[in-house]
Chains A and B, each alone.
Chain A
Amino acid sequence: MNHFPHGWGRPRDDIYGPYDHTYLSHSQSSGPNQHTQQPAVTGTSVLAAKFKDGVVIAADNLASYGSLARFTDVKRLHKFGEHAILGIGGDVSDMQYISRILNELDIDENYGSTGNTLNAKNLHTYLSKVMYARRTKINPLWNAILVAGLDGVGRPFLSSVDLLGTTFSSPTLATGYGSYLAQPLLRKLAETEDEVANVTREKAEKAVREALKVLFYRDARSLDRFSIAVVTKQGIELMEDEQLEGQSWAFADRIKGYGTQVN
């Protein structure tokens, strides 16, 4: 999973060679129906890290249209029930669709006498089936998703699912460009599940915020306004309008062509 959501789920050129376009019909207005083959408005990385009592998850508030920073106040973290939250990268319209079906699921669950008892693990399983079913219909939801929260016995839970239905979990996770830049930094927190016991909330939150800053420096499709959430037994603390603090752009004035300095 790389920096370019447009490349996700496509055969890699370095392995399969470039796609032979002669197989495509010359006009898409005729010929068979085609499903989504590429994302349009996209969100970039989502980051998350487990700590001993819960999980921290964060994503910036930008939705890009190619290289255009199209929407700058898009919330990409979505609460589900009391102890689960998901962060979504990739196509924003597909994200809104996922958000809607999860809302419907939440409403359905709340009709029952026990309320919504689905935990983060249940939510991740459900989403992975949705994503895998859609890829199997060759009509994927073009997203990479992190599910954070608590599992059925109240332990911290963090797992991911992407547009192919591939799932995996780890003490720390990052999607998109974050998998290159943030994940190596986050892994210093906890390399194994056993090491999560030594991570405090403060350490985890600080590491995620630092990683977001690194991404803002180096990911051209990122923003300095972001959302961050902490899930513990006490519930979900969601902060949706955070500002990256303590940036240092002192190096910039020495770079020609940067900012207002033209020559």
Chain B
Amino acid sequence: MAFIHPSSLLPSSNPSYSFREGIKSSAPGIQEHRFSPYADNGGSTLGIAGKDFTIIAGDTRQSSGYSINTRYAPKVFRIGGDDDSGTGAKIILAVTGFAADGNALKERLDSMVKMYKYQHGKDISVKACAQRLATILYSKRFFPYYTQAILGGIDEEGVGALYSYDYVGSYEREQCRAVGAAASLIMPFLDNQVNLKNQYVPGSGVGHDLKAKAAEPLEQSHVEQLVRDAFSGAVERHIEVGDGLQMLIATKDGIREIYTPLKRD
């Protein structure tokens, strides 16, 4: 008995028309796309660690395809705060990629950081939180959170700390990192301006004799301006970046937020 699956009577995933079109497919069988549990909601984030501060920033646009879902959907979060607004938090998490996974990851890490304080009677360190985030990501190794995360705060020595991750939990402590849609635009800028890559001491020689400029700790106000410049540059060249810039700055006194508008085109 020939079995006619109901799906063959249903509209295909392609735009359908009022006349019936024969199904054209090189592969035999049922014409169907499987459900994909992932989406890319665009946007970009970056983090820079300083001598006694860490800045993590992200644009606030959320998009799907060519559509802008909203002009204000934060990608940078306070972790382990006392209330909804995150007061009392000391750790910053930024996530790009699939927004729903990003939110789920944020909520999971936040609740674990709160549980840590109840169980061990002290605030979690950035180092411990960084490892915990890695194990959370790896625990979904075969159905990953489709997010690229960066985590920042102040370490136990009072120095700015920044960690960056891949989808499945590989991580590393770094001085600076750009992540997301415009990472390839922003990262070279940070390499040059933060780590002084390809900058040489003028007149120090020719060819191999050129002396590379040594990277030294940057002032907080200088880093804030670098972040603004990085994003206004990314906005010009990437369609998924724009609308607003959210900057969270962790110091020994806690986390401060600065919002600046970006171009909305």
Q: Of A29, A38, A165, which contacts B32 at CB under 8 A?
A: A38
Interface presence of B214 (CB below 8 A): no
Interface presence of A19 (CB below 8 A): yes
Interface presence of A37 (CB below 8 A): yes
Scan residues 26-48 of chain A and give those whose CB is less than 8 A from a CB of chain B.
26-29, 35-38, 40
Interface residues contributed by chain B, number (CB under 8 Å): 45
A193 to B10, CA, bound (A): 41
Q: Which residues of A contact B222 (CB under 8 A)?
A: none
Stretch at the interface among A2-10, A203-211, A247-255: A2-10
**Contact bitstring B92-106, A, C-beta under 8 A = 1, else 0:** 000000111001100
Interface presence of B18 (CB below 8 A): yes
Stretch at the interface among B36-44, B49-57, B123-131, B234-242: B36-44
Interface presence of A138 (CB below 8 A): yes
Q: Which residues of B contact A15 (CB under 8 A)?
A: 40
Contact check, B11 vs A20: say whether CB atoms are below 8 A apart: no
Q: How far is the CB of A159 from chain B (nearest CB, A)?
A: 9
**Contact bitstring B1-21, A, C-beta under 8 A = 1, else 0:** 001011100111111111000
Q: Which residues of B contact A20 (CB under 8 A)?
A: 27
Scan residues 15-29 of chain A and give those whose CB is less than 8 A from a CB of chain B.
15, 19-22, 24-29
Contact check, B33 vs A19: say whether CB atoms are below 8 A apart: yes
Q: Which residues of B contact A28 (CB under 8 A)?
A: 5, 7, 30
Contact check, A21 vs B99: say whether CB atoms are below 8 A apart: no
Scan residues 142-188 of chain A and give those whose CB is less than 8 A from a CB of chain B.
160, 164-170, 179-180, 183
Interface presence of A67 (CB below 8 A): yes
A28 to B34, CA, bound (A): 13
Contact check, B34 vs A19: say whether CB atoms are below 8 A apart: yes
A164 to B69, CA, bound (A): 14
Q: Of A3, A36, A136, which contacts B37 at CB under 8 A?
A: A136
Return the chain B residue nearest A28 by Cβ.
B5
Contact check, B29 vs A169: say whether CB atoms are below 8 A apart: no
A26 to B65, CA, bound (A): 32
Q: Of A3, A12, A164, A168, which contacts B62 at CB under 8 A?
A: A168
Interface residues contributed by chain A, number (CB under 8 Å): 47
Interface presence of A66 (CB below 8 A): yes
A136 to B38, CA, bound (A): 10
Beyond A1-B64, A28-B30, A67-B11, whether A10 also contacts B71 by CB under 8 A is: no
Return the chain B residue nearest A137 by Cβ.
B37
Interface presence of A89 (CB below 8 A): no
Contact check, A66 vs B16: say whether CB atoms are below 8 A apart: yes
Contact check, A169 vs B25: say whether CB atoms are below 8 A apart: no
A140 to B36, CA, bound (A): 10
Contact check, B70 vs A168: say whether CB atoms are below 8 A apart: yes
Q: Footprint of B on A, CB under 8 Å?
A: 1-4, 6-7, 9-12, 15, 19-22, 24-29, 35-38, 40, 66-67, 132, 135-136, 138, 140, 160, 164-170, 179-180, 183, 191-193
4 further interface pairs, Cβ-Cβ under 8 Å (given A4-B13, A9-B36, A66-B16)? A10-B35, A11-B36, A135-B100, A170-B72
Could you list some 28 contacts between A and B, CB below 8 A? A1-B64, A6-B12, A6-B13, A7-B14, A7-B33, A9-B39, A10-B33, A10-B35, A21-B32, A35-B35, A36-B35, A38-B7, A66-B10, A66-B11, A67-B17, A132-B100, A135-B100, A136-B37, A136-B143, A164-B38, A165-B104, A166-B41, A166-B64, A166-B69, A166-B98, A170-B69, A179-B67, A191-B264
